[in-house]
A and B are shown apart, each in its own frame.
Chain A
Amino acid sequence: MRLSVDADACTGHGRCYRVASALLTFDDEGYVSVRGQAIDVPDHLRDAAEEAAGTCPELAISLLDD
């Protein structure tokens, strides 16, 4: 699975990196550190990735199955 964060949509609510702290973290301003990027999701963190995507008020996180 791949997880990508829309750079324009993310406003730094921080819900994703709180519910999926094993996968995501924050930058100095509180945006998710991988804003505007896509990352691989290890299999054991798929549920966390789905929770992160579903908890974003901006719907900035997309998941793509391999």
Chain B
Amino acid sequence: MAACGYLQLADQLREGAPVYFNRYAQGYWIFSRHDAVRDIYKNPELFSSESITPWEPDPAYRFIPTQLDAPEHLKYRRIVNPWFSPARVDAVAGMVHDVCRKYVQDVAPRGRCDFVTTFALQYPTEVFLTMIGADPEKTDSFVAWVEDFFKGFGGDPDGVEPMLAALASIRGYWEGAVADRRGDPEPREGDLASHLIHSAVDDRPLTDTEILDMLVVLTLAGLDTTRGTLGYIFWHLAQHPDHRRRLIDEPELIPYFVEECTRYYTIIFGDGRKVAHDAEFHGASLKKGEMVYGLVAGANRDPRYWERAGEFVLDRKKNNHFGFASGPHRCLGMHLARRELAVGVEEWLKVIPDFRVDTDQPLMERGGGSMTTLLELPLAWEVAS
């Protein structure tokens, strides 16, 4: 689809009706407006995370902790929360800047690049691997695996085989890491895999299956999302020299700008939940076992809730969007993600204050089943000789 096509679709659905029943697959409810999406997130007792994929009510896989409900969910979540807490992100801030600068300095003299493949994929991947004590030398491997996984995840039949191979490679990497650390008497400092081996739930150690599930889901969830949002951020900046100038002059606005990008260019088209018991909900009679799909991209741009909903307001205040979801399953990596996005803008603009989109062709995005993301973003800038 052409870039921002999914956002336009979300806007159309939201303005067309508050609720739909989509007959695709087994059929599922779509709630398109802010009030219903908020209430889905606010009621995890009614809306279970047992499945979060609306066209797959009984998935063969179970991601931990993503697909667990209370009280189990919080037991696992508490094990990983401190690894992605604001305090931990503050502690690694220097590393985030260093890694980012390295990629910016590498690309700057070239005068042009595909932003997605030379920056948006590598920089957050290397930061993430370093932060959890994995091997940063594996950045390029993880980039390729995560790419292959999400290409297939969208439903392209040709993509299924590479997707499964990529999943096996990611799992294989973590199996090796866990085996390597298994015999350690103490957890290794700053090493998430080692920490999980030494963690307990209900007074028993985590099983290998649980550890691998957690590491795989963190890898997949943590790497594709930052890449998606970085793409839209820099596409926006390439088209808005006034916004670039303002962020250079007032860098304290960068966090506000990042939040507005996360709202305006929402990369979560929708979020699925499974109905736990019969209920009346925003005009629909839901039956136990049915699936619902809250249109997050619709909610984040709903004029019934937001002032200037369809407008990009760089320093928007009270921007309580659902770009990182909401409720008990809110994005675990949100504090790291925000830091990566803000540092990415800051360090890039310091070295490359002016740049433009370097193609006459329309940019394309993928989305649907996975996060919305630009496939390519060719950028160009003047290089001082």
| Residue of A whose beta carbon sits closest to that of B331 | A13
Q: Which residues of A contact B82 (CB under 8 A)?
A: 28-29
Contact string, B280-322, partner A, CB cutoff 8 A, digits 1/0? 0000000000000000000000000000000000000111111
Question: Contact partner of A29 among B42, B85, B321, B327, CB < 8 A?
Answer: B85
A30 on the interface (CB 8 Å rule)? yes
A residues 36-65 touching B (CB-CB < 8 Å): 51, 54-59
Q: Which residues of B contact A56 (CB under 8 A)?
A: 320
| Residue of B whose beta carbon sits closest to that of A58 | B326
Q: Which residues of A contact B322 (CB under 8 A)?
A: 57
Chain B interface category by residue count? 20 to 34
Asked whether A54 lies within 8 Å of B86 as measured between CB atoms, the reply is no
Asked whether A30 lies within 8 Å of B86 as measured between CB atoms, the reply is yes
B residues 203-248 touching A (CB-CB < 8 Å): none
Complex CA–CA separation, A25 to B87 (angstroms): 10
Complex CA–CA separation, A20 to B259 (angstroms): 15
Central interface residue in A12, A17, A26, A56, by most chain B CB within 10 Å = A12
With A11-B330, A30-B335 known as contacts, the answer to whether A57 contacts B85 (CB < 8 A) is no
B residues 135-152 touching A (CB-CB < 8 Å): none
Give the distance to chain A from B93, nearest Cβ to Cβ, in Å.
14
Complex CA–CA separation, A57 to B327 (angstroms): 9
Asked whether A14 lies within 8 Å of B330 as measured between CB atoms, the reply is no
Complex CA–CA separation, A58 to B334 (angstroms): 15
Asked whether A14 lies within 8 Å of B334 as measured between CB atoms, the reply is yes
Give the distance to chain A from B306, nearest Cβ to Cβ, in Å.
12
| Residue of A whose beta carbon sits closest to that of B330 | A11
Asked whether A55 lies within 8 Å of B87 as measured between CB atoms, the reply is no
Asked whether A28 lies within 8 Å of B85 as measured between CB atoms, the reply is yes
Contact string, A3-34, partner B, CB cutoff 8 A, digits 1/0? 00000000111110111000000101110000
Partner-B contacts on A (CB < 8 A): 11-15, 17-19, 26, 28-30, 51, 54-59
Sample (23) of A-B pairs whose CB atoms are under 8 Å apart:
A11-B326, A11-B328, A11-B330, A12-B330, A13-B326, A14-B86, A14-B334, A14-B335, A18-B255, A19-B317, A26-B86, A28-B85, A29-B78, A29-B82, A30-B86, A30-B335, A51-B317, A51-B318, A54-B318, A57-B320, A57-B321, A58-B42, A58-B327
Extra contacts, 7 of them, besides A13-B326, A58-B327 (Cβ < 8 A), are A12-B330, A15-B259, A26-B85, A28-B85, A57-B324, A57-B330, A58-B42
